[in-house]
Structure 1
């Protein structure tokens, strides 16, 4: 593109043999904000926030390995690999330093990065996430179901957890893009990421996080509860806590409030 004031491009980074698809767009002089998606979605989960975010940031979104246009690894992986994927994307895009916003699994990725690679980041927004998401038996059952019956078998239950009853009743069409992302997710990629979340226990990292962090919770989130979010906020020395009246996918259910919170915090407010 020739508009250098608002440049947009896509790319593919390689991280330990895994291809990671990303897009970066916005004012080339603006601070960069990396967005990390939840389990089962793609970089398109951030579409509701993009107009607001692009007024303040250059936004770097990527498909987590095993999702969207990123490749499905053949070997098991964990949070370290998910975190290094972000660094590979930043390197490929020529981004030396950025703010970070992740939801659910993306928030766990952010926690790992905040502890191990703080020099590459400014502020972190960790939404609808926890340092430990269990129990393991829930993940094992979900993995077995997807391997046996495919993604369609779990989508109704996922949507029920991700959206509040009032949102589901009044925004049936609004959930369709999320449903489509879930149904399109590669089962092998999904189950591999389930295993990564199942095996991640980041509680020991929290007190060592020196960055400024905004923890966003959904008041009706049964997947990563407000109590779990408060545990993260209490343990991280420079953390703020914000509760939104939403379930798990708070950025989709309350796009304006979520976007405003990210802009305010990322701008240092």
Structure 2
């Protein structure tokens, strides 16, 4: 177990792969931890040096008090990458992880050489929408919101499997305060202007059954970045790395190869 102390905030992280491998950072969705990427990790090229982490309020990381902004979340991974020596990395961000990716790329291009923006947007939802969801979780915990969340996240076909129940329980293990703190950060984030100024290789991934960040939202975000690519995974929802790990990993591998990863 690796714990980074970042000015008093302790983040859990995991590094895998050869020391001289191509650095790749993974940032997961709201209400998950670094295990969200487990299904795809064995399917990726062996020459990668990967960094996964539990953002604040999630997994084994601290749940600090006060109100959190997206700037805090970007700063967390910025400090973690500096500490771990991850520079010129490919950054893969899903949902809120995609927002973090956009914020970091706009701030520290020395850390990010290419982006994968998966199931995300430059702006996700509205303040009122997030306020309603936050109140639901504050009043009744994640259990009060889990059915609606799972319907947005996973296809009907996947929800009929036994595997689905494990991932639902995985989500329910998130601290309610961690979920609401990061949800509040999403509510206050609009990266349309800053993302439109990005000029680096970018791949967008969407799931055709995604009810949280639909394909059109992902496309609109990719349209802000000249030369970006888009891949739609049919039949998958908000977490295609879980529902369609083979196609997801193959899509990443192809993009990595275009960045010189062998």
Instruction: State the TM-score bracket (shorter-chain normalisation).
Output: over 0.9
Q: What TM-score, normalized by structure 2, do the two folds share?
A: 0.94
Q: Deviations over 1:205-231 (max 9, x none)?
A: 122111110011111212111111111
Aligned match of 1:67? 58
Aligned match of 1:4? none
Give the C-alpha shift of residue 111 in structure 1: 0.8
Q: Does 1:53 align with 2:47?
A: no
1:238 to 227, 240, 255: 227
How many residues of Structure 1 are paired with residues of Structure 2 in the alignment?
A: 258
Give the C-alpha shift of residue 54 in structure 1: 5.3
For the residues of structure 1 that align with 2:223 and 2:45, how far apart are their CA atoms?
Answer: 31
For the residues of structure 2 that align with 1:93 and 1:54, how far apart are their CA atoms?
Answer: 21
Q: Does 1:211 align with 2:200?
A: yes
- Which segments of 5 or more consecutive residues in structure 1 lack a partner in the other structure? 1-9
Give the C-alpha shift of residue 16 in structure 1: 4.3
Q: Deviations over 1:63-115 (max 9, x none)?
A: 01110011112121222111111121112223233111010000111011111
Indicate the SS of the match to 1:146: helix
Indicate the SS of the match to 2:199: coil
Indicate the SS of the match to 2:223: helix
For the residues of structure 2 that align with 1:161 and 1:56, how far apart are their CA atoms?
Answer: 34
Q: What TM-score, normalized by structure 1, do the two folds share?
A: 0.92
- Which segments of 5 or more consecutive residues in structure 2 lack a partner in the other structure? none
2:85 to 90, 94, 100: 94
Aligned match of 2:12? 21
Give the C-alpha shift of residue 17 in structure 1: 3.0
What RMSD over aligned residues (CA atoms) do the two structures have, in Å?
A: 1.4
Higher mean C-alpha displacement, 140-149 vs 31-40? 140-149
Q: Deviations over 1:160-209 (max 9, x none)?
A: 1111112222xx22223321221111111110001001110111112211
User: Any conservation in 1 of the 2:3–2:10 contact (CA below 8 Å)?
Assistant: yes
Aligned match of 1:31? 22
Aligned match of 1:255? 245
Aligned match of 2:132? 141
User: Any conservation in 1 of the 2:23–2:87 contact (CA below 8 Å)?
Assistant: no
